[in-house]
Structure 1
Amino acid sequence: MTNFWNGKRVFVTCPTGFLGAWVVQTLLDSQAQVFGFGETATTSPNLFDLKNLGQKISMTYGDLRDESALREALQFTEADVVLHLGESGLISDLGKRPLETFAKAALGTATLMELMRETASVRSLVVVSSDKVYARKTSGEELVETDAVAPSAILPTAKLCAEMIALSYRQSFFAPEKYNKHKIAIATARMGSAIGGGDFTEHALIPQAVQAFVAGNSFELKNPQSVRPWIHVLDQVAGLLSLAEALFERGPKLAPTYNFAAKETNTVGEVAQALARYWGENARVNLGEGSKSSLSVHANLDSKLAQSDLNWKVQRNLTDALKETLQWYKEFYSSRTSATL
């Protein structure tokens, strides 16, 4: 991290989710002044509360669609940078409630963007999107930022709606050619789910595996042949912050969209077996009947633009990322066990 963030005023939406908590902690470690706006965490336990982040930042609990509350928070913050992490990544079962999902993603983002027209302090705004917004290619080649996007499942489509709204405002009110007038540089960041300590999402692979290991049970896999890119959350955070910093310092010279993804791909089965090895203590994985299921391949993103423009690259290989993640959970469950003695 550079000294850029020291003293910067940063407004973070939806900071109570897994990604949000790590963004907030990294900013605090970099001596930034952090202001949060969003709803309470939906899992218990959750990293935001475990680190007591709500007491360490200026936090406003509210709905992004509440224009008056959001306006008041933004005016109080006088932010230099806005990081819009997005509601749809916060609530694991939002995909089962499409109307709420789309309303929060679209109207929440539109409200934030509209209020950007009133601010005089913000210079940099990053909107987090999804790696699943792309139209799939049958050839399996890497997807670049200029490739076509398309609707898919509810959550990534909601992210796509939010991204398109942000880029529409960028074109209509914050155009790069008029930067000297509005002084706000905007870009979106496309990335998938990450691994790391503090993730308690219900259906995430590592939390499920760890819970089985702690209980002494065999971890049962449903689709071990699914192929995914694996990236540590702190590598994602580094990408987001590097983009926000570059927007602040270089303004409209940057592209409107950047991919942040790992090139390394492995099957769920391979990662689960690696988790059991690194965990030790007789941890077991059962590939089960799922090992005969059809192959599922997640989007493969090309991140060369982020590498060339932002000097960003993944710092942790899969082994390091898994070991760092498991160490967090071992310390967490060890401390909980000690507390009950």
Structure 2
Amino acid sequence: MRVLVTGGAGFVGSHTVVELVAAGHDVHVVENFCNSERWIVERIERLTGQSLSLDELDIRDREAMRSSMHRFRPDAVIHFAALKSVSESTQQPASYYDVNVTGTATLLEVMREVECRQIVFSSSATVYGQPEACPVAEGARVDPGNPYGRTKLVGEWMIRDCASVPGAVLSAAILRYFNPVGAHPSGLIGELPRGVPNNLAPYITQTALGLRDHIRVFGDDYATPDGTGVRDYIHVVDLAKAHVAALTLLSAGEARALTLNLGTGRGYSVLELIETFSAVVGKPIPYVVQGRRAGDIGECWADPTLANTVLGWQAEKTLEEICADAWRWQQACVSAAE
């Protein structure tokens, strides 16, 4: 298939591009590099052994998107391009709605124009807000507690509405994934935050290397076994493979607007994650407990049964493998900068 990937040099996007090429797909990336670096493209090419077809553009630019899609004529789109920080979204909500909602609307309009009829959408477990119970199944109440989660939910609504238009024949897989972590086992690509990381795993690895004094643990008074937040950490390679499986499902004509949770089905606390990283690194990693962070919730982990059944997929990598790959990537980043 000819697959256009928005945000294909980002964290999940880059790993998915590698898996798409390995599966024999013809891939074209559109990317504005607001959350990624241009040298990631060369890393993807090293991993795939192929030159990467890419247009540098902003998905809100309708004319640029129209030109790119008319030239490439994709059979399907995998849509990652978005702003993605929960905490930042509480400070810059208008920017998040502009990029995440306007960008998705523009993409859907151009897809209609070029008659591209399949989309895999990068959504998030944040649409559930504070779950009433865990594990969380797809039928759970959605009530996002921050602007980022609300932009993802609006994106879902738009896609479902487009798929319900008579004669439109748009098919969609909406993938609500939990906490992507880890890195490619090669150490060539991984999570690459700019400035102070918003996500926990890169903050831990940077602290382990001495780039930061300590980890900030936001809250130890949640109703969880050790008081710290509990999340479902899924390896980014497992996540990437799920996107390829979803694309295969759509191409077989077996779905119209399918929503799936992508996770491991197991929750780990912040302290458990720090302890596992410490064991992998071989030394204690210092942390300091602070007050709760705006927009955070106590616990959230997936019921991935539907994805396991429908996609024939399941997360395979352990928490130890997640930490080992993330640590290898962090060390490689520092070595490359020296």
TM-score tier, shorter chain, comes to 0.7 to 0.9
Equivalence for 1:5: none
Equivalence for 2:22: 29
Q: 2:59 aligns with which of 57, 60, 64?
A: 64
Equivalence for 1:266: 268
Distance 1:56 1:200 in 2: 22
SS at match of 1:309: helix
Equivalence for 1:196: 182
SS at match of 1:148: coil
Using the TM superposition, give the Cα deviation of residue 105 of structure 1 relative to its aligned residue in structure 2, in angstroms: 1.5
CA contact (8 A) 1:22 1:233 kept: yes
Distance 1:75 1:19 in 2: 25
Using the TM superposition, give the Cα deviation of residue 123 of structure 1 relative to its aligned residue in structure 2, in angstroms: 4.5
Q: Give deviations 1:164-199, integer Å, cap 9, x for gaps.
A: 1111111125xxxx5xxx554222111123112221
CA contact (8 A) 2:163 2:257 kept: no
Q: Give deviations 1:82-122, integer Å, cap 9, x for gaps.
A: 101131238984553211210222221111112222224x3
Using the TM superposition, give the Cα deviation of residue 251 of structure 1 relative to its aligned residue in structure 2, in angstroms: 3.7
SS at match of 1:129: strand
Distance 1:213 1:74 in 2: 43
Structure 1: runs of 5 or more not aligned: 1-7
Residue 326 of structure 2 is aligned to residue 325 of structure 1: yes
State how many pairs are aligned.
Answer: 316
Residue 165 of structure 2 is aligned to residue 172 of structure 1: yes
Determine what percentage of the aligned residue pairs are the same residue: 22
Equivalence for 1:154: 147
Instruction: Report the TM-score when normalising by structure 1.
Output: 0.82
CA contact (8 A) 2:172 2:257 kept: no
More divergent stretch after superposition (70-79 vs 83-92): 83-92
Q: Give deviations 1:240-281, integer Å, cap 9, x for gaps.
A: 1111110111343x652111111121111111121112112x
More divergent stretch after superposition (49-58 vs 31-40): 49-58
Equivalent AA in structure 2 for residue 318 of structure 1: L
Distance 1:69 1:217 in 2: 40
Equivalence for 2:107: 112
Cα–Cα, structure 1 residues 53 and 150, in superposed 2: closer, same or farther, change >3 Å?
farther
Equivalent AA in structure 1 for residue 163 of structure 2: R
CA contact (8 A) 1:218 1:285 kept: no
Equivalence for 1:3: none
Q: 2:94 aligns with which of 99, 113, 132?
A: 99
Cα–Cα, structure 1 residues 112 and 216, in superposed 2: closer, same or farther, change >3 Å?
closer
Instruction: Report the TM-score when normalising by structure 2.
Output: 0.83
Greater C-alpha Rg? 1
Residue 285 of structure 2 is aligned to residue 285 of structure 1: yes
Using the TM superposition, give the Cα deviation of residue 327 of structure 1 relative to its aligned residue in structure 2, in angstroms: 2.5
Using the TM superposition, give the Cα deviation of residue 318 of structure 1 relative to its aligned residue in structure 2, in angstroms: 1.2
Distance 2:84 2:23 in 1: 24
Q: 1:125 aligns with which of 119, 128, 131?
A: 119
Using the TM superposition, give the Cα deviation of residue 145 of structure 1 relative to its aligned residue in structure 2, in angstroms: 1.7
SS at match of 1:312: coil
CA contact (8 A) 2:130 2:145 kept: no
Distance 2:159 2:89 in 1: 21
Distance 1:216 1:183 in 2: 51
Cα–Cα, structure 1 residues 167 and 310, in superposed 2: closer, same or farther, change >3 Å?
same
Structure showing the higher helix proportion among its residues: 1
Q: Give deviations 1:13-58, integer Å, cap 9, x for gaps.
A: 12232111111222233342211113114356x8735616599322
More relative contact order, 1 or 2 (CA 8 Å, 6+ apart): 2
CA contact (8 A) 1:21 1:47 kept: no
